[in-house]
Amino acid sequence: MDLNLKPKLVWHNLLGMDFDDPHMEWQGFRDGVDMILLYGDAAQGCSSALLRYHPGARIPEHLHVGMEFLFILRGSQSDERGHYSAGTFLINPTESSHKVLSEEGCVVLAVWEKPVRFIQA
């Protein structure tokens, strides 16, 4: 069996990564927000990703159908409950919702139990 076909399950030095390295394969996610899917399928079930918010980027209101875990790696973001800077770990429970804004830009490690459902476009 070719081990290169297996998904990458270990991410070394996540806190020290250069998220601006041109070799990182960021894909468009929402307007002003890029994503690197680390594991799973964000449209089907449990998944994890790096999200890179450009300054001023917003994620519209969305419902958490399952648990969402966020770790702010760089920069900061805000929602209706507060402002979260690098080093903050957030848990958004099932059936909670929020809108996200990153005025300065940020990079976030996100883990979703189930896909989110967007309430606003």
Q: Tokens for 61?
A: 């209101």
Pick the CATH number of 51-121 from 2.60.120.10, 3.30.499.10, 3.40.50.300, 3.20.20.140: 2.60.120.10
pTM over 0.85: yes
The one-character DSSP state at 110 is E
- In the numeric block, the tokens 């790096």 are attached to 50
Q: What is the pLDDT of residues 39-85, one digit of tens each?
A: 998 778 899 999 999 999 999 999 999 999 999 999 999 999 999 99
CA angle 33, 37, 42 (to 5 degrees): 90
Which residues make Cβ contacts (< 8 Å) with residue 98, sequence separation at least 6? 61, 62, 79, 80, 81, 92
Nearest to 57 by CA among 110, 104, 118: 104
